[in-house]
Amino acid sequence: MAGIEKAIYEKAGHFTVPGVFSAAEMDAAVEDIGRWGEEFLRELPAVQRRWYLDAGVKAREVLRKLDNPHHHRESMRRLARDPRLVALVESVIGSGVSVYFSQIFFKPPEGGGPKPPHQDNFYFGPRDPEALITAWIAFDDATVENGCLYFGEGTHRAPVIPHLAPPDEPFNLQVPAAMAAKAAMTPAPVPKGGVSFHHGGVLHQSGTNHSQRWRRACALHYVSNDNAFLRPALPYDEKMFLRVT
C-alpha cells in the first residue's frame, strides 16, 4: 500500500484501488456467479426465500446475495488468492492471511435494495480489530445511481456500536437508526475491476439501485492467520475458512 493510501486508510477507514482486475476477468466472474445463482435459486427452500431474494425488485424473483463464494466456486477462490489482491491486503494487515467469510451482492437493476449502516467487526467479533479488512471487488461500475457503498469517514477509530435486527429479519444486524443518523455518510464509487478496502470497524452502507444497470460485487473478509473470533454475532462455519498465505 502506497503512503498516500495508508494515510487515507488510517484517517477514513477505507481506500479504493482502481484497475486491480481487468474487465474481462470481471465478466468471467459474473458469468460464473450467474450460473451459480440460477442453480441456487431453483433449489432455494421456501423458508429461506425471504432472506435471499431482493425485496426491492417486484417484477421477478432475483437473488440479493450468496454466501461464501470462496468456498463454493473455484473462480472466487482464484480471486481470493490472486497475488495482486493479496499483496494489497497484506500491505494493510500484515503477512499471512485467510478468508473467513465472503459474499456476492447482486444489487439488480430497477430496485435492488439498500444495505443499512453496519460494521463488519460487530458481525465477526475479532480479538484483534485491526487485523481484519474487507476487500470489496466491483464486478460492475458501482455508482451513486446504482447503489455504491457509503462510509462514515473515521468511524473505525471509535468503539463498535451495538447492532440490532428487525424482528422479522434476525440476521440483518444494523446500527440503530438514531446512532446511524449521527454519522455523515460519504459515497465511494468503485469502477469495474477496482477494489474498495475497508476497516472492520468503519460504518458503511449501500444505496438502492435506481438505475437499469447491475451493481454486482464480491466482498472477501480477510483476517490475519493469528487472529481469533471471540464474540461473533452470527454463526460462521470454520470449515469454510480459507488460508491464503
Domain with residue 86: its CATH number is 2.60.120.620
**pLDDT tens, N- to C-terminus, the chain (245 residues):** 667 788 899 999 999 999 999 999 999 999 999 999 999 999 999 989 888 999 889 878 999 999 999 999 999 999 999 999 999 999 999 999 999 999 999 999 988 999 999 999 999 999 999 999 999 999 999 999 999 999 999 999 999 999 998 887 777 899 998 888 888 999 999 999 999 999 999 999 999 999 999 999 999 999 999 999 999 998 999 899 999 99
Give the model's pLDDT for residue 156: 97
> What per-residue string of b and e applies to 173-195 under the rule 16 or more CB within 10 Å gives b?
bbbeeeebeebebeebbbebbbb
Q: What are phi and psi of 125, to 5 degrees?
A: 60, 50
- What is the structure's pLDDT at 192? 98
Query: What pLDDT, on the 0 to 100 scale, is given for residue 241?
Result: 94
pTM of the model: 0.96
Question: Into how many domains does the chain fold?
Answer: 1
Contact at 8 Å (CB) between 116 and 207? no
Q: Which residue range is the domain that position 66 belongs to? A: 3-243
Nearest to 219 by CA among 235, 206, 209: 206
Q: What is the pLDDT of residue 182?
A: 86
